[in-house]
Amino acid sequence: MLTRRDFVAQLAAGAAAIGAFALAPEAAWTAEASASSAQPREPVVSFHMDRPYIDRSGTAMPYHAPSGARSAAAVARLNEEAFRRMQCYA
């Protein structure tokens, strides 16, 4: 028969095991993946839910701007004063 004391002891042991696994270094989590790839991964910039973020593990798909997405190229040559004269609401 399982007593309350035994139940709490087993629960504490299980929580400690899960906590130790969760606090393990990231290298232990990805040891197999890093062993299979010869080159180390570098951080990449990506998007999640329309917000940019830096994926430090290097596993996310990197964001590459589509061609023709240089909308500010037309005003890049202007200084601040000339830009404000052209775009009074910017």
87: left (phi over 0), alpha (psi -120 to 50) or beta: beta
pTM tops 0.85: no
Tokens 């909308």: give the residue.
71
- As a whole number of angstroms, the distance between CA 65 and CA 44 comes to 13
pLDDT tens, 2-52?
899 989 999 999 888 887 777 666 655 555 555 555 566 788 888 777 788
80: tokens are 């601040």
Range of the structural domain that residue 58 is part of: 4-65
Beta bridge partners of 44: 55
pLDDT tens, 31-42?
555 555 556 678
Q: Is residue 19 part of a domain?
A: yes
Q: Is residue 46 part of a domain?
A: yes
Domain count, the chain: 1
- One-letter amino acid at 61 equals M
- As a whole number of angstroms, the distance between CA 90 and CA 72 comes to 13
Q: Is residue 25 part of a domain?
A: yes
Distance, first Cα to last Cα, the chain: 75
Q: Is residue 79 part of a domain?
A: no
Q: Is residue 13 part of a domain?
A: yes
